[in-house]
Chain A
Amino acid sequence: MLLVGKRAPVGPEAVRRMVDAVSPEQYEVVEVDHDVFEAIVIKKSLLKLIPKEKLLPLIMEEGSRIADEEMVMKAQVKISIHVRRAVTF
């Protein structure tokens, strides 16, 4: 994921053009209304594991602890899924 600061050297449109050129259709650029960040770039496959509405607030909360609005921050997200399944005979 990329967290794009509000005053970062690259903005959402530049990021969108970049990821579309490098990895077309694999990333979604979500523009956000936030004190520090202007946009979040998410790999679409991540959103199969967790909905955007859950993921974005978490990422922005954690990101804003260490980033400022001039930064573009790369975040690595590890999602653990625990499956428990009971099988009855």
Chain B
Amino acid sequence: MLSVRHLLSEKLYIIPSSASVRLAAAIMEQHHIGCLPVVDEGRLVGIITSRDIRRSHPNRLVADAMTKKVITIRPSASLWEAYNLLLEHQIERLVVVDEKAVLGVITKAQIMAEVGKYIDSLTTLYKAEIFYQKAIELLEGGYEIAIIFLDIDNFGLINKEYGHVYGDIILRRTAEILKTVIDVKQDTLCRYAGDEFAIVTTRSLAKAKELAETIINIVAQEKWPCPITLTLSAGISGGRRSGLRNLTENPGYIIKHLVNMASLASAKAKKLNTSIFIADTVELKTTPFNYEQILR
């Protein structure tokens, strides 16, 4: 996923707080922009938006019309962080700053356009890229994580028996159920692919198993639009972070391995005709993983 830096335009327009609102409006109109960071002696002191301008007399100083509380973000931050900041503060723009200066402004429209590429249109869940990004952030933040991989049993048969429209309804409804069960503070959910969903969580392996059981039970009790009994198979894997730095420069490598293990565990659960299979905890060391050994 791109970082905030990639959305910055080359040209930055700023205005001092001693300028008039009339001048700010003229600059914004001339350059077709919706706001200007207010900078005095190199220091960000506010932001003036088209909304501020509509509310203020044009003779006013920018200092008397600007919004003084400015939400800023680092250029290295992910678009995901930017998206969350926008939601958290219910704002339309973020000012991008580094230690020394104001670098630019990014808008909600820009961020949404980019983030939208990572939202699954059928279920409105995140796509796998966001899941990976979140998992990497957690690992880099020193958290121990568990991955729950959920697979709808015999989904292909449902599609064949009742048609893809019903299949889509089932996927949407399953996604809704998953959304109500997870806790966004500790779980990140995605539609991994097709009829597969994945959750990365900071819960312990035991708690992750409890969550998977809850999901499986709720789905089993759900009334579906066609006469089926829907079941899920879950595979769970977890990773300890010791030795992580020695393993690789790329934590994405570790996540892919954990996902693969959870996915194989889910397949194993199906094969064993049990709802959940735990691929146990993996010590993240330099030795390549041996899936066969883990799942044996």
Docked complex Cα distance between A13 and B63 (Å): 6
The answer to whether A8 touches B61 (Cβ under 8 A) is: no
Which residues of B have CB within 8 Å of A7? 55-57
Query: Binary interface profile of B, 31-63, with partner A (CB < 8 Å = 1, else 0)?
Result: 000000000000000000000000111011101
The answer to whether B61 touches A11 (Cβ under 8 A) is: yes
Interface centre among A9, A10, A11 (most CB of B within 10 A): A11
B174 sits at the interface (CB 8 A): no
Which residues of B have CB within 8 Å of A17? 61
B65 sits at the interface (CB 8 A): yes
B64 sits at the interface (CB 8 A): yes
The answer to whether B57 touches A70 (Cβ under 8 A) is: yes
Which residues of B have CB within 8 Å of A70? 57
Chain A contact residue count (CB 8 A cutoff): 10
The answer to whether A11 touches B63 (Cβ under 8 A) is: yes
Query: Binary interface profile of B, 219-263, with partner A (CB < 8 Å = 1, else 0)?
Result: 000000000000000000000000000000000000000000000
B202 sits at the interface (CB 8 A): no
The answer to whether B61 touches A14 (Cβ under 8 A) is: yes
Docked complex Cα distance between A70 and B55 (Å): 11
CB distance from A74 to the nearest CB of B (A): 18
Docked complex Cα distance between A25 and B295 (Å): 78
CB distance from B60 to the nearest CB of A (A): 5
Chain B residue at smallest Cβ distance from A8? B57
Docked complex Cα distance between A38 and B59 (Å): 16
Docked complex Cα distance between A70 and B56 (Å): 10
B17 sits at the interface (CB 8 A): yes
Chain A residue at smallest Cβ distance from B17? A13
Interface centre among B59, B60, B64 (most CB of A within 10 A): B64
Docked complex Cα distance between A12 and B17 (Å): 13
Which residues of B have CB within 8 Å of A14? 60-61, 63-64
Contact of A10 among B17, B55, B59 (CB under 8 A): B59
B-side interface residues toward A, CB under 8 Å?
Answer: 17, 55-57, 59-61, 63-65
Extra contacts besides A7-B57, A8-B57 (20): CB < 8 Å: A8-B60, A9-B57, A9-B59, A9-B60, A10-B57, A10-B59, A10-B60, A10-B61, A10-B64, A11-B56, A11-B61, A11-B63, A11-B64, A11-B65, A12-B64, A13-B61, A14-B60, A14-B61, A17-B61, A70-B57
5 tightest Cβ-Cβ pairs between the two chains A and B: A11-B64, A13-B63, A9-B59, A9-B57, A14-B61
